[in-house]
Amino acid sequence: MAKLKTGLIQMGLKASTDGSPDEIRQAMLAAHTPLIDDAGKQGVQVLCFQEVFTQPYFCPSQDTKWYAAAEAIPDGPTTRLMMDYAKTYSMVIVVPIYEERMPGVYYNTAAVIDADGSYLGKYSKTHIPQVAGFWEKFFFKPGASDYPVFDTAYCKLGVYICYDRHFPEGWRALALNGAEYVVNPSATVAGLSQYLWELEQPASAVANGYFIGAVNRVGWEAPWNIGEFYGNSYVVNPRGQIEAQASPDKDELLVHEIDLDMVREVRNLWQFFRDRRPDTYDPLIELN
């Protein structure tokens, strides 16, 4: 049996948004450190944080102050720090941060670090919302990747970020590229989308025959207070069953072991990939 020990960390904001992005980064890293160490000691093999994990979810604002929160990947301080942790604990780490790719060009990105501390690559959020409370186009340029799957020491790993989860095309592309486990770091609040949290990702796990680790932050973030980030991070299997779930309101490391043999087992039962008809899907890529 191909067992994989997964870890998801959900966290509330640990510093006032009146502070500088660098001060907030240091506070968030300090809060994460004990949980990273705990994950390493528990033998977690793939660890993922929440979306833009070193900062508040600043997109309710349109304040250029937050451009200073962006850092280089892989040579910025957070990615370098996580490379050290990955090597120390032989742990794959997915590092979702605000990325500056060149002066004035910013992305919502997750770096992927292998268990030996090497940088494998990155995925940048593809679908960028622009609605009240979520003015993301002000901060993020949309990614234009080919939905990479990272051949890590322990599994074939995909990344999809927050709002991406509403779009089935990317989930399918990750499956076709070989993903066995896909993480979705998010920042989502109670209200309109909450009922989708335990609906869309289990459905995507079933449709694509892989495991998904869904991560959300917790608590309220002033001064915006657009809603409560409701946590409830979880791991769902290819049958759509949530196998483990974190609390709605606490800082937490969720550790759960999954059986990757279930990927083949479920795909052999539900032959969705055999029965696909890509020759009929041309209308799906028309620009309307």
Which residues participate in catalysis according to the annotation?
51, 125, 162
The span from the CA of 144 to the CA of 129, in Å, is 15
Radius of gyration of the chain (CA): 18
Alpha-carbon distance values, 71 to 80, 96, 98 (Å)? 11, 11, 6
Question: Could you tell me the CA-to-CA distances from 33 to 29, 54, 85, 176 in Å, in that order?
Answer: 6, 12, 9, 35
Residue type, 252: E
Q: Name the nearest CA neighbour of 143 among 158, 122, 157, 167.
A: 122
* Residues 208, 264: Cα–Cα separation, whole Å: 11
3-state secondary structure of 266: helix
Closest of 163, 178, 156, 74 to residue 126, by C-alpha: 163
| 86 Cβ contact list (under 8 Å, min separation 6) | 92, 93, 113, 114, 115, 116, 117
Among candidate residues 46, 77, 57, 49, the one with its CA nearest the CA of residue 17: 57
